[in-house]
């Protein structure tokens, strides 16, 4: 079963690139026009997955093995997909998800160096029949995002990685974009945040996601 009548939109990019602001603008837009949309995020989105998120991101967990981390992301995604995303799509809703399977490929695959084939299998396993319709990709190099934001937030284990790690993440997203051009809607965010928002709305309208 594909998504039936709903539309599944993921939002991806490196840290500090305006992803949260654009997600908030999208939410406000949907509220304003009474569009029946669900806004959610990964890791997280359900009580069980939010608890897994806390384990993954806890800065005290420096000894976390990278495969453990990968399996925790997959477990959080499975629960989130089964409990929230798939039912909302089946009910015909638009689901906007802040990070999803491409983050795993970019962070755990391209940046941490875990076998990408294994990640693809795990992602598929966690997603079941759910398919991403479009991915809004904030195409901003970490030098212009992460660093501008003031570098690492010490309480977040993943933000604590250095610039080299985030450059690998960015390179990963660019590779994924090349392999899935049909679903990637990429935004360089060179204008103001309001201009970027207008471009995102226009792209979603053009593809019939928003009316
Ligand atoms: P979060 O604070 O939500 O970051 P952001 O605001 O940038 O989205 O933390 C999520 C972190 O988890 C972020 O560093 C990216 C990372 N991540 C992975 O490494 N793999 C994944 O599969 C997902 C979903 C997130």
Q: Which of 12, 40, 81, 103 to mutate to test the pocket of ligand 1 (most atoms within 8 A of CB)?
A: 103
User: What is the model's pTM?
Assistant: 0.93
Q: Kindly report each contact of residues 44-53 with a partner whose C-beta sits within 8 Å and lies 24 or more positions away, as own/partner.
A: 44/76, 44/80, 45/76, 45/80, 45/84, 45/85, 45/97, 46/79, 46/80, 46/83, 46/84, 48/76, 48/79, 48/83, 49/76, 49/77, 49/79, 49/80, 52/76, 52/79
Which of 40-44, 135-139, 186-190 is the least confident region? Answer: 186-190
Q: What is the pLDDT of residue 157?
A: 63
* Mean of all residue pLDDT scores within the chain: 93
Q: Which residues line ligand 1 (CB under 6 A)?
A: 15, 19-20, 42-43, 57, 73, 98-99, 103-104, 107-108, 156, 158-159
Q: What is the pLDDT of residue 93?
A: 97
pLDDT(203) > 60: yes
Burial, 35: exposed, middle or buried (Cβ in 10 Å; 0-12, 13-18, 19+)?
middle
Residues linked to residue 41 through DSSP beta bridges, in sequence order: 98
Q: What is the pLDDT of residues 185-202, one digit of tens each?
A: 999 988 899 999 999 999
Q: What is the pLDDT of residue 145?
A: 76
Q: Of 127, 135, 139, give the one whose Cα is nearest residue 17.
A: 139
pLDDT(1) > 60: no
Distances (CA, A) of 138 to 50, 53, 64, 128, 179: 24, 22, 28, 26, 17
Q: What is the pLDDT of residue 9?
A: 98
Q: What is the pLDDT of residue 163?
A: 86
- The token pair that represents 140 in the structure block: 């901003």
Q: What is the pLDDT of residue 190?
A: 86
Q: What is the pLDDT of residues 52-89, one digit of tens each?
A: 999 999 999 999 999 999 999 999 999 999 999 999 99
pLDDT(2) > 60: no
Residue nearest to atom 2 of ligand 1 (CA): 156
pLDDT bin (cut points 50, 70, 90) of residue 154 is low
Q: What is the pLDDT of residue 28?
A: 98
CB within 8 A of 85, min separation 6: which ones?
A: 8, 38, 40, 45, 95, 97, 130
């Amino acid at each position: 079963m594909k998504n039936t009548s709903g539309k599944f939109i993921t939002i991806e990019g490196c840290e500090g690139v305006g992803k949260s602001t654009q997600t908030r603008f999208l939410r406000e837009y949907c509220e304003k026009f009474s569009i029946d949309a669900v806004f959610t995020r990964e890791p997280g989105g359900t009580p069980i997955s939010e608890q897994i998120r806390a384990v993954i991101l806890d800065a005290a967990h420096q000894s976390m093995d990278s495969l453990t981390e990968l399996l925790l992301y997959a477990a959080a995604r499975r629960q989130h997909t089964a409990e929230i995303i798939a039912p909302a799509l089946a009910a015909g809703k638009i689901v906007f998800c802040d990070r999803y399977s491409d983050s795993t490929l970019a962070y755990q695959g391209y940046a941490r160096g875990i076998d990408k084939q294994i990640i693809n299998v795990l992602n598929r396993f966690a997603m079941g029949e759910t398919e991403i319709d479009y991915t809004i990709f904030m195409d901003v190099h970490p030098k212009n995002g992460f660093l501008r934001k003031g570098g690492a937030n010490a309480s977040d284990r993943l933000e604590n990685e250095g610039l080299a790690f985030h450059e690998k993440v960015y390179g990963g997203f660019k590779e994924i974009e090349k392999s899935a051009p049909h679903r990637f809607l990429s935004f360089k965010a060179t204008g103001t945040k309001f201009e970027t928002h207008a471009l995102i709305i226009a792209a979603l309208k053009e593809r019939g996601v928003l009316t």
